[in-house]
Structure 1
Amino acid sequence: MDRDAENLARQLDWNLLRMFVVLVDSRSITLAASRLGLQQPSVSSALKRLEETLGRKLIERGPGKFNVTDAGKQLYREAVDINGSILRLSTLMRDIQETVQGHVKIAMASHVLCEFFDDILGDFHIQHPQATVEIIVGPSHHVIEQVVSRQASFGICLVYNKHPKLHYKHMFREHFGLYCGPKHPLFGKKNLTTKDLAGNNWVSFTTDQLSDVLRPVTLLRAKAAPEDAVVGSSANLEEVRRMILSGLGIGPLPVHVAKRDVEMGYLHRLPPYDDPPEIDVYVTTNPATKLNRAEHLLLKNLTDRIDSIPLEDRIFGG
């Protein structure tokens, strides 16, 4: 940049350029003053200062006369671009401010299958592609620990005893059924009753205890076969499913989760078929956790969607 251009850049008032654009567009000192919210002498004075700064006559004025000079036309073209760039700055700054970045860490129980939650995740990624999501899976009590310790943005899990420091939002209700795999002697058999379940090995979740979140499932198993052995267990639904498919024993699964396997002939539903155990799944939050924008928006999208769906449409596998 040469010295004259550098001096001009230091001396030039950008507000004069904005005034000049409005003045040329208005073709009237009076109208330009009105649009700018200024007095006419102020606009005339601003035009004079701009002409003095540039050392060029920009507009020839007189009674009934308003002509933009060649220098004025050249300045107008450049000033329009400059003014447009300045106006776009606010949009650029807003876009930067509104670009949702940040990381969302969700602690989740392994047997959560919910289509509207999947839709929320997909929509969130489309709307905020620079935000990242991490889902950690574990037993429901681990989910609660993650939320209490503020290591997770929020949790989705089964709840038996509500922690006093957390907030809970009822997400959906699921029903559990009993299943066996193709290698099991009961596979494919019809007209079975709960009496037919006695004398078989079982697999289940590590939380399948009277004092834990799957208490209703525990009671079902205890009623059907109180003396039978549990030969396999896992906190992970996929592993419980694996053991059932492998023929280790009879096991519980959420009915809506197992539906496709039943239709494909991989699993066989066992009695009881009426009044299956029901388990409630909650979105769990810690009010002491300070959420970033990504966390706040994803959580809000989820809770808003829950509120928009009647409870009867959030009951699965009944």
Structure 2
Amino acid sequence: MNIGQSTISGYITKLEDRLGVKLCLRGRSGFRLTDAGEKLYDAAIELFEDLDRFRLKVGEVRDDLTGNFYAGTVDSVVQVKDSVIPKLLGAFAEKAPNLHLDLRLASPQALVRELTAKRFSVIILPVFRPLAGLKVLELEARNPQILFCARNHPLYGKSPAEEELRAAPFADRAHMEGWAPYSSRALNVAATTVDVECQLLLILSGKFIGYLPARHVSSYVASGDLWPLSHPEMDYDSRMCLAVRADDESSATQIFTSLASGLTGNVLQSES
């Protein structure tokens, strides 16, 4: 920021004097917020979010959408060939050119929390079960989630029994526990990551098996680098969906969902 530490310290002291509370502890031992500082920091974040919503509302009244539009998505959605999501984002940017689109990456659980807390207006994520208080629109065809291994793995080229699959060292995406239909507790979890790319790297090492979206890795299967360990008791499907709050009637969100419906032919459906 090109601001000296002493200058920043002076600004903090003046702010503390104005607010009448100690915001942080600073010194040789380091820097940390006090309890009051943490509460006021959270309040400031809420204030900025309220300002963003106010700007959106003003834009709606003027029939000129302005301000920030926050959207969230999971990782690796771009790896699906002919995905509708880039087209949707482009159509929205063209429809609301004065609106600043802020797209962020997060786990499915975090996306739902942010949407419910009204920090995001729309989210894109795999849905396996109803999401209370939300409406969803299916964006893409269902994507089989299959266990895979690499060319140099002992199970490559085989059709192992369920017991063999559960015993094999498994690379897990940590945030999928409690979200996806499978339970990692029933698998031999030997490595953990948080995104599809890292999980793919672990599987390609030849030391682990793991779930991957079949459509994402079709080129690896075609080249022989990955082998599908498909098993009827272990496979499951995911559906990539757009989700919004059921009570969100803002113009920007309605435009986004209308464009999604036009591109896919699907409609928003209430989750219960």
Report TM bin, short chain: 0.5 to 0.7
Change (3 A) 1:168 1:229: same
Alignment of 1:257 onto 2:216: yes
1:107 aligned partner: 72
1:156 aligned partner: 124
* Equivalent in 132, 135, 143 of residue 174 of structure 1: 143
Structure 1: gaps (5+ residues) = 1-96, 310-318
Deviations 1:254-302 (A, max 9, x none): 1111112222443222232799411233321114446354x44233201
Change (3 A) 1:296 1:265: same
Question: For the residues of structure 1 that align with 2:153 and 2:224, how far apart are their CA atoms?
Answer: 13
Letter of the 2:68 partner, please give it.
H
Alignment of 1:305 onto 2:263: yes
Contact 2:149 2:226 in 1 (8 A): yes
Given the two structures, how large is their TM-score scaled by the length of structure 2? Answer: 0.61
Change (3 A) 1:308 1:247: same
Change (3 A) 1:306 1:149: same
Change (3 A) 1:248 1:104: farther
Indicate the structure whose relative CO is greater, using CA pairs within 8 Å and at least 6 residues apart.
2
Contact 1:231 1:248 in 2 (8 A): no
Letter of the 1:138 partner, please give it.
A
C-alpha displacement of 1:119: 1.8
Letter of the 2:122 partner, please give it.
F
2:55 aligned partner: none
Deviations 1:23-61 (A, max 9, x none): xxxxxxxxxxxxxxxxxxxxxxxxxxxxxxxxxxxxxxx
Alignment of 1:194 onto 2:161: yes
Letter of the 1:193 partner, please give it.
P
Given the two structures, how large is their TM-score scaled by the length of structure 1? Answer: 0.53
Secondary structure in structure 1 of the residue aligned to 2:215:
helix
Higher strand share: 2
Secondary structure in structure 2 of the residue aligned to 1:141:
helix
Contact 1:153 1:291 in 2 (8 A): no
How do 1:17-56 residues align onto structure 2 when only pairs under 5 Å count?
Answer: none
Question: For the residues of structure 1 that align with 2:69 and 2:225, how far apart are their CA atoms?
Answer: 35
Secondary structure in structure 2 of the residue aligned to 1:176:
strand
Deviations 1:173-200 (A, max 9, x none): 221111112442334x2x4233553542
Stretches of 4+ moved more than 4 A in 1?
A: 97-101, 126-130
Alignment of 1:230 onto 2:230: no
- Supply the RMSD in Å over aligned alpha carbons: 3.2
Secondary structure in structure 1 of the residue aligned to 2:265:
helix
Change (3 A) 1:247 1:105: farther
Structure 2: gaps (5+ residues) = 1-61, 268-272
Contact 2:91 2:259 in 1 (8 A): no
* Equivalent in 100, 105, 108 of residue 140 of structure 1: 108
Secondary structure in structure 1 of the residue aligned to 2:206:
coil
Secondary structure in structure 2 of the residue aligned to 1:232:
strand
1:214 aligned partner: 180
- Larger radius of gyration between Structure 1 and Structure 2: 1
Question: For the residues of structure 2 that align with 1:298 and 1:248, how far apart are their CA atoms?
Answer: 43
Letter of the 2:193 partner, please give it.
S
Question: For the residues of structure 1 that align with 2:89 and 2:132, how far apart are their CA atoms?
Answer: 28
Contact 1:204 1:230 in 2 (8 A): yes
Secondary structure in structure 2 of the residue aligned to 1:257:
coil
Secondary structure in structure 2 of the residue aligned to 1:120:
helix
Deviations 1:222-278 (A, max 9, x none): 8xxx5x520122332222222212334100011111112222443222232799411
Secondary structure in structure 1 of the residue aligned to 2:202:
helix
Contact 1:194 1:271 in 2 (8 A): no
Greater shift in the superposed pair: 245-254 or 200-209 = 200-209
Alignment of 1:184 onto 2:184: no
Q: Give the paired residue count.
A: 201
1:291 aligned partner: 250
* Equivalent in 238, 246, 251 of residue 205 of structure 2: 246
1:272 aligned partner: 231
Identity, % of aligned positions = 15
C-alpha displacement of 1:128: 4.7
